[in-house]
């Protein structure tokens, strides 16, 4: 009997020793895998490698999208690319005369950027309706309001796909659309039919289909104007609008389309120059840490790029120093500042951002967080500075004609 007990005791001890060795080996293996994973993560991230190899000028340049002053590539645009390593350009109607001239300008920007290793964002406001920058040879598309009246998600998606296809054919890679403002104020002087609707659910549905259509053509959609420009009575191009809304009001109306766009992986959101004193009495939304870092990033969970609306608008220039505004925008949580007009102002912003880093007003780590996201988005959309030799606008006009014929409410667009 004692012998049996002793044998059982030895067996128990043997099992316990075996289990101990097994768990020890498992733990060591897990640690080795974690260490290996960490090393792979550090060493196998090409974006981080690219970021680490960038100069300060290159990092600062990526934080700015600038405008061009006329129809032709000039020494100022050249300086923005070669000296300041600018992250991108936006073109307006003042920059576009006809298809041939447009291609020549875009191709000049791209070719000059060959001195840099990072391709340019090439953006445009092609919302449809009265906000269209493409040459007159291209057929017009309906306003957002008209699109929503059609009330057909498939139509919205198809139309946006065609818009994206022709932007890509021209050499653009970013569209400042869709407009996600809820048109809650009929006296609004700047939004109006640029909004899909006064109903946030309609704005959400149509805006998301617009995003998806642009993406099919590798065009980056930019949702605007956060946290909502639809209830203003002042045009922010001219002065600073003030809204007395609290956060509850915003969550119940203006923020609904943006929240749903974030759920649908929108990568870029443009902030508005509007003052909401109940959220931040000192800074417009575009410069407000509480609105950008707290509401947009923490509360709504947005991890993508935030770009300001144009800093040369009256809402900013008449109330703030543009250099201080640019620095404040980055501190507030924005990743890119938009400076659409006046080379001296563009240069001042670039220099101010550089100075802010050197002074310690903005940490290098904060700059690199934004630059990393910018590089990641450019890689995701496989941006290049490839030259476009020609664009056949007639092909896209035919596609729009075919689409319009299925919708009697768009018959007026067949007369172009």
Kindly give the interhelix angle for 200-216 and 255-263, rounded to the nearest 10 degrees.
40
Cβ proximity of 303 and 328 under 8 Å: no
Catalytic residue among 136, 198, 237, 342: 237
The contacts of residue 245 (CB under 8 Å, 6+ apart) are: 231, 254, 276, 278
Catalytic residue among 125, 309, 310, 335: 309
Helix (H, G, I), strand (E, B) or coil at 262: helix
Distance CA 396, CA 393 (A): 5
CA distances from 344 to 67, 79, 347 (A): 11, 11, 5
> 402: which 2 tokens?
């075919």
Looking at the chain, the number of H-run helices and the number of E-run strands are 16, 8
Of 389, 327, 336, 390, nearest to 361 (Cα)? Answer: 327
Any catalytic annotation for residue 237? Answer: yes
Q: Is the dihedral of CA 174, 175, 176, 182 positive or negative?
A: negative
Q: What DSSP state is assigned to residue 312?
A: T
Any catalytic annotation for residue 309? Answer: yes
Active site members: 237, 309
């Amino acid at each position: 009997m004692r012998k049996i007990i002793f044998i059982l005791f030895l067996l128990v001890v043997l099992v316990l020793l075996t289990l101990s060795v097994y768990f020890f080996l498992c733990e060591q293996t897990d640690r080795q895998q974690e260490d290996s994973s960490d090393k792979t993560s550090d060493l196998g991230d090409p974006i981080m490698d690219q970021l680490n190899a960038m100069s300060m000028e290159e990092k600062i340049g990526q934080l700015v999208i600038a405008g061009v002053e006329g129809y032709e590539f000039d020494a100022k645009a050249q300086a923005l690319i070669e000296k300041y390593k600018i992250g991108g350009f936006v073109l307006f109607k003042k920059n576009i005369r006809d298809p041939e001239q447009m291609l020549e300008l875009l191709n000049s920007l791209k070719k000059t950027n060959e001195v840099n290793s990072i391709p340019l964002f090439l953006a445009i406001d092609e919302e449809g309706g009265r906000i269209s920058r493409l040459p007159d040879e291209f057929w017009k598309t309906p306003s957002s309001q008209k699109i929503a009246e059609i009330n057909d998600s498939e139509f919205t998606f198809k139309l946006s796909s065609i818009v994206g296809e022709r932007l890509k054919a021209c050499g653009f890679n970013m569209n400042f659309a869709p407009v996600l403002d809820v048109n809650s104020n009929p006296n609004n002087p700047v939004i109006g039919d640029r909004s899909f609707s006064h109903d946030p659910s309609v704005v959400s549905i149509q805006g998301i289909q617009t995003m998806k259509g642009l993406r099919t053509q590798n065009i980056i959609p930019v949702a605007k104007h956060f946290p909502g420009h639809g209830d203003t009575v002042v045009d922010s191009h001219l002065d600073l609008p003030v809204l007395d809304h609290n956060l509850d009001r915003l969550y119940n109306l203006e923020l609904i389309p943006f929240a749903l766009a974030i759920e649908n992986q929108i990568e870029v959101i443009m902030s508005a120059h509007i003052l909401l004193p109940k959220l931040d009495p000192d800074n417009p939304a575009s410069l407000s840490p509480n609105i950008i870092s707290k509401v947009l990033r923490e509360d709504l969970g947005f991890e993508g790029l935030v770009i300001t609306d144009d800093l040369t608008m009256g809402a900013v220039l008449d109330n703030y120093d543009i250099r201080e505004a640019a620095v404040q925008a980055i501190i507030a949580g924005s990743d890119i500042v938009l400076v659409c007009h006046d080379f001296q102002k563009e240069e001042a912003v670039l220099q101010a951002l550089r100075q802010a880093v050197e002074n310690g007003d903005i940490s290098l780590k904060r700059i690199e967080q934004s630059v990393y996201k910018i590089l990641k988005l450019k890689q995701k959309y496989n941006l290049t500075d490839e030259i476009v030799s020609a664009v056949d606008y007639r092909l896209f006009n035919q596609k729009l004609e075919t689409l319009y014929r299925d919708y009697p409410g768009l018959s007026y667009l067949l007369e172009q």
